[in-house]
Amino acid sequence: MERSKLILLGAGPGDPDLISVKGVKALKQADVVLYDTLSHPALLDYAPSTAEKIYVGKKAGSCQNSQEKINNLIVQKANEGNCIVRLKGGDPFIFGRGHEELTYARDHDIPVEVIPGISSCTSIGELQTIPLTKRGINESFWVTTGVTRNGGVSEDIELAAKTTATVAILMGMRNLPKITAIFEKHGKAETPAAVIQQGSLPEEKIALGTVETIVHEVDKHGLTNPALILIGDVVKLHPEFKNPNNVEHLMDTFLAKSAL
């Protein structure tokens, strides 16, 4: 029982080379690895050949791997004296239910360690040379889910659409038309937008446009989940963005507004 432990490990945005050194060390000591859909299968090779590797990914409309079942599996494997690595795509505390699993484990007296991962919300745009913040263009960025538990659009998107912040939206492809309608309602039809599918992986795809055109661009390029939605003037900095205003103009506009 001395080895009984849960390690919540962020697998990063997709590319297996983007996992942390500490994360690799954790996998090498695992007795059990519980991995989800968005964690790259190559990461399992770091675990010992004797380690038990269990897929616990969730799929829409399926209760095969409900959160309750995953929580119970963690406790079961810990009670057997195992070091468990819960390998989660991105970062375990950003829309990853990592804290729910931490709380459940601690309630059952299981020690927990957290190893952060590189989140897709910050890295996918960066890998496409789109900064979330740019001096002279914007002063903040928002990260929000694109779908609520009941399938609707988060009220936070309505708030974000009223700002000049870059908005990074995860799990929003199903609601993309509703999301763009919210931004258009707040006068953001011409705001640049990007959708990046399978970011950081060889099969990565990107659609570039504006709030008004991005749904059409997504359909034209055949993009689907998993994908990140980015909305904001910084998207114009992508080298393939068509007919962008130059950076100097954006900075001048920003500074003029700031002076008011």
Task: Please identify every residue annotated as catalytic.
Answer: 36, 58, 171
Chain Cα centroid distance, residue 61: 21
Residue bearing tokens 């001395």: 2
Alpha-carbon torsion 11, 13, 14, 19, what sign?
A: negative
Closest CA to 142 of 125, 128, 129: 125
CB neighbour class for 158 (10 Å; exposed up to 12, middle 13-18, buried from 19): middle
Chain Cα centroid distance, residue 230: 12
CB distance 229 to 210 below 8 Å: no
CB distance 244 to 236 below 8 Å: yes
Q: Please enumerate in sequence order all residues whose Cβ is within 8 A of that of 95, keeping only pairs 6 or more positions apart, or say none.
A: 145, 170, 171
**What SS3 state is found at 82?**
coil
Spatial separation of the C-alpha atoms in residues 184 and 199, rounded to whole Å: 26
Strand partners, 53: 33
CB distance 83 to 29 below 8 Å: yes
CB distance 75 to 102 below 8 Å: no
